Structure 1
Amino acid sequence: MTESSVHPALWPAPQASGSVDATVTVPGSKSVTNRALVLAALAAEPGWLRRPLRSRDTLLMAQALRSMGVGIEEGVGPDGSGEAWRVIPAGLHGPVTIDVGNAGTVMRFLPPVAALADGPIRFDGDPRSYERPLNGVIDALRVLGARIDDDGRGSLPMTVHGGGALDGGPVEIDASSSSQFVSSLLLSAPRFNQGVEVRHTGSRLPSMPHIRMTVDMLRTVGAQVDEPETGGEPNVWRVSPSALLGRDLTVEPDLSNAQPFLAAALVTGGRVTIPDWPLRTTQPGDALREIFTTMGGSCELTEHGLTFTGSGRIHGIDVDLGEVGELTPGIAAVAALADSPSTLSGVAHLRLHETDRLAALTKEINELGGQVTETADGLRIEPRPLHGGTFHTYDDHRMATAGSIIGLAVPGVEIENVATTAKTLPDFPQMWTRMLGV
């Protein structure tokens, strides 16, 4: 192992020399891309996926599906309108080993798919993936008829012994640590012999917009879903067995990945436009319009996109982020630069993400001179004058972008391993410097 791999290079986060004024085209949504790949792989006919995100997480998903027999051809769409992937379903088979990296969508969405394959499918990944909870998916699949070897860990590595089909039916799970437990079962449920009835039995279910995204996308490909949002029983989702249709789907820009760029407008009192921001979406990142407006900006949404303008002042905020927890690092970074305290709540589950995001944010902001305190379910942030220093990322893409936001206003901030942003936003450093005109 080389010294550079042990001590990744430090990236000097550029300080803004004035108000930002930029248009930033954000790549496609990871959450939509990986859900679409699973649904297309399970369809009864080929489909197109336009403007997919090419990042570590989505390429791991594509490679995993290819290894089980699915055809995924990269090229341009049928009308020549830009990059598209043609997904050609096929009989799923093992034996194969799937590398999940540290992608929650891959490690949680694919075990139900593997249960439909013929043969053993082994799942492995980065060291951190062994620490992320998977018991909700493993236990549920066993109830539904799957055979899984995990040596009783409830986490990776593990092997799913696919039998070519899965009975399905009713199952109770505690998804309070990750909404992906619910989405994972719903995505494959149309292919289960009895479909599925998923009943969440735990405490508050986080990241509900991601479950709404799963339900919407299932309906787009012809699945029948009964869910709480449309008058169904609270915390219960039912998916009927059916064939899935091959569709021509265009992936929306990743609104959560737009966060650091909108934050730049807020921090510098500038203006940033994100083209193609959808007028209607289930993406959690859409909440940024309201949150960042409360913190001191204003926005205009048209059919062409979203323009966000900072006022030159940043206000603290008291906000429950339980439905949009992935936005917490960026909001915490902005809050550390505000003119009044902030309380971010409803995000205890972030301790189980790519890293313990609450502990990481507390440590890194405080080491730059901040005053952040962990609470039972979030963070209390008292703004203080900050100074330069190393901002560690813990192999977490959202930590890297959070540190970059702080670096806009604080000279001498260096991001350790900014390359971890390739997980969902491969060209982040170049996009960031272009926005600043550096």
Structure 2
Amino acid sequence: MIYKVKKVEKPHDIVAEVPGSKSITNRALLIAALSKGRSVLKGCLFSDDSRHFIDALIELGFPVAVNETKKEIAITGFGGQIPKNSASIDVGSAGTAARFLTALLGLSKGRYHITSSEQMKKRPMKDLLLSLEKLGAVIEYENEEYHFPFTIGNSGKYADSVDINVDKSSQFLSALLIAAVVMNRTFTINVTGTHGMAYVDMTLKMMEQFGVRAISDKIKGSYIIAEGSEYRALCYDIEPDISAACYFYAMSPILGVKTRVIGVHRKSLQGDIAFLDVLLDMGCKLHEDEESIICEASPDNRIHGGKWDLSSFSDQALTLAAIAPFADEVVEINGISHIKFQECDRINAIITNLGAMGVKAEETDDGVRIFPSKVKPCQIQTYEDHRVAMSFTLPGLVSDGIEIMDPYCCRKTFENFYDVLEECVY
């Protein structure tokens, strides 16, 4: 399937509404399952990723009630216990579900079989699995070691501490932090690497909202979860997905309009809110009221280039790369070498697709450098990556002839992206 992006002939101010945060929804699903009692999650994201997570919890025996119309999920947890001591689950291509559920099952007594999509089989898991093995997990691999599918469980002979490297994914650390309560002992996680720590901060804040505080020692790079820590069941509101909102905010400078995304505020738990500071640097103006943040294009419609470190909000590297050709000077995106190991090699996706558009782009030691260029018609290769599809839709709003291959891979996190786009942009 191909989506032919229509150039916006008469730009107007944009008001968009995006789904709930994927990152917050999936963290809330796991924490609610580990809580004692019935939690109700409101404003949830319903997508391929979250549905795989929900289905997995149901397979594990958790009572789950879903109301997609009201965007609500009710989950009854059993204080860190899994109802079934054996089950088979499929995490699909959901990286968060894959890492979070693997940590939970790797610390739980029982025997659990986990499968995934072919895409997820290629994504990094080794550092998390090595840490779980040191914590007493027994893992039987069916094919390639440290890759899905495998069977996992724990005898309960836990260690008091473990090391984890987050250079390839901060989800490894978030997974261990959330699931640590299963062990019911004072437990220390020693961290190396710095990638994606804004997502770890989100994890820590959500854990605390549900009643568990991890003590952080930033000098030693460690976190301690105390024995007896317990999550309490909550009625919990999910924020709008800032990653999704950024696609619409990025339309502001390239179309020369004001953009409002309902419910987005600076106090967000999500690290991607920092992308708005990049837009400020590029010449946009920001205003916030009770309803949301408004992004306004520069009065002279110029878009400034520059250098930005996106290591703490790297999902927006694709978004920035997609609007970079319209800047008045070179755009350099740093701190993103790890995105080669996400849903696809995103560095390659950036350079390949920009090249197809006639835009000069080159890889650097830890990112990409993009030169101002006129965009020519082309087909965008999405590599089954939702963020490639949504990001590279943006140039087509300004230049004729951009076509998105396999556009509905965006259902992974934002299944009606193109419906929302057409409703609020054209």
Scaled by the length of structure 2, what TM-score is found?
0.95
Matched, 1:235 2:221: yes
- What is the identity, as a one-letter code, of the residue corresponding to 2:204? V
2:361 paired with 1:372 = yes
Residue 12 of structure 1 corresponds to which residue in structure 2? Answer: 4
- Give 1:39-54 correspondences, 5 Å limit: 39-54=31-46
Provide the C-alpha distance between the structure 2 equivalents of 1:257 and 1:83, rounded to a whole number of angstroms. 17
1:344 aligns with 2:333: yes
**Offset at residue 92 of structure 1 (A):** 3.1
Per-residue deviation, residues 122-144 of structure 1 (Å, max 9, x unmatched): 22111121111101111111111
Q: Matched residue pairs, number? A: 419
Select between 428-437 and 191-200 the one with higher mean Cα deviation.
Answer: 191-200
Retained in 2: the 8 A contact 1:266–1:309?
A: yes
Q: Is the 8 A contact 2:164 2:191 kept in 1?
A: yes
* Aligned partners of 1:21 and 1:270 also within 8 Å: yes
Is the counterpart of residue 304 in structure 1 residue 291 in structure 2? yes
RMSD over aligned Cα, in angstroms?
Answer: 1.7
The corresponding residue for 2:99 is: 108
1:355 has 2:357 as partner: no
State whether structure 2 residue 71 is matched by structure 1 residue 71: no
| 8 Å Cα contact 1:318/1:344 also seen in 2 | yes
User: What does 1:21-100 correspond to in 2, within 5 Å?
Assistant: 21-75=13-67, 82-90=70-78, 91-100=82-91
User: Is the alpha carbon distance of 1:268 and 1:234 closer, same or farther for their aligned partners in structure 2, counting shifts above 3 Å?
Assistant: farther
Q: Which residue of 2 aligns with 1:249?
A: 236
2:158 — aligned with what? 167
Distance in 1 (CA, whole Å) between partners of 2:180 and 2:30 is 11
The aligned residue for residue 211 of structure 2 is: 222
Q: 1:403 to 1:279 in 2, by over 3 A?
A: closer
Change (3 A) 1:189 1:213: same
Structure 1 counterpart SS, 2:243? coil
What is the CA-CA distance between 1:234 and the residue it aligns to? Answer: 3.8
Q: Structure 1 residues 382, 166: closer, same or farther in 2, change over 3 A?
A: farther
Gap regions ≥5 residues in structure 1: 1-8
Amino acid corresponding to residue 239 of structure 2 in structure 1 = E
Q: Secondary structure at the match of 1:89?
A: strand
Q: Distance in 1 between matches of 2:351 and 2:265?
A: 33
Q: Is the 8 A contact 1:372 1:379 kept in 2?
A: yes
Q: Distance in 1 between matches of 2:354 and 2:145?
A: 34
CA distance in 2, matches of 1:46, 1:168: 31
Residue 316 of structure 2 is aligned with which of 327, 344, 350? 327
Other structure's SS at 2:178 match: helix
In structure 2, the partner of 1:182 is: 173
- Structure-2 residue corresponding to 1:3: none
Matched ranges for 1:394-433 at <5 A: 394-433=383-422
Rounded Cα–Cα distance in structure 1 between residues aligned with 2:186 and 2:53:
23
In structure 1, the partner of 2:247 is 260
SS across alignment from 1:64: helix
Does residue 199 in structure 1 map to residue 187 in structure 2?
A: no
Q: Which runs of 4+ in 1 moved over 6 A?
A: none
Q: Which segments of 5 or more consecutive residues in structure 2 lack a partner in the other structure? A: none
Does residue 271 of the first structure (1) align with residue 258 of the second (2)? yes
- Post-superposition offset of 1:278: 2.8
The C-alpha deviation readout for 1:277-296, integer Å capped at 9, x for no partner, is 13412312211221111112
Displacement of 1:162 in angstroms is 4.6
SS in 2 for 1:415: strand
Q: Do the aligned partners of residues 328 and 167 (structure 1) sit closer, same or farther apart at CA in structure 2, a change above 3 Å counting? A: same
Distance 2:310 2:405 in 1: 26
SS at match of 1:277: coil
Q: Could you tell me how far 1:116 is from its partner in structure 2?
A: 4.6
Counterpart-to-counterpart distance in 2, 1:64 and 1:117: 15
The residue type paired with residue 118 of structure 2 is P
* Alpha-carbon distance, 1:224 to partner: 2.4
Give the CA deviation at 1:336: 1.9
Could you tell me which amino acid in structure 1 is paired with residue 46 of structure 2?
R
Structure 1 residue identity aligned to 2:233: G
Quote the Cα distance in structure 1 between the aligned partners of 2:402 and 2:118: 28
| Aligned residue type for 1:71 | P
Contact 1:189 1:195 in 2 (8 A): no
2:53 and 2:130 map into 1 onto residues whose CA distance is: 22
Q: CA offsets per residue over residues 291-320 of structure 1, 9 Å max, x none?
A: 111112111122210111112221112001
8 Å CA contact 2:20–2:240 kept in 1: the answer is yes
Residue 191 of structure 1 contacts residue 243 of structure 1 at CA under 8 Å; is this kept in 2?
no
Relative distance call for 1:168 and 1:24 in structure 2 (3 A) is farther
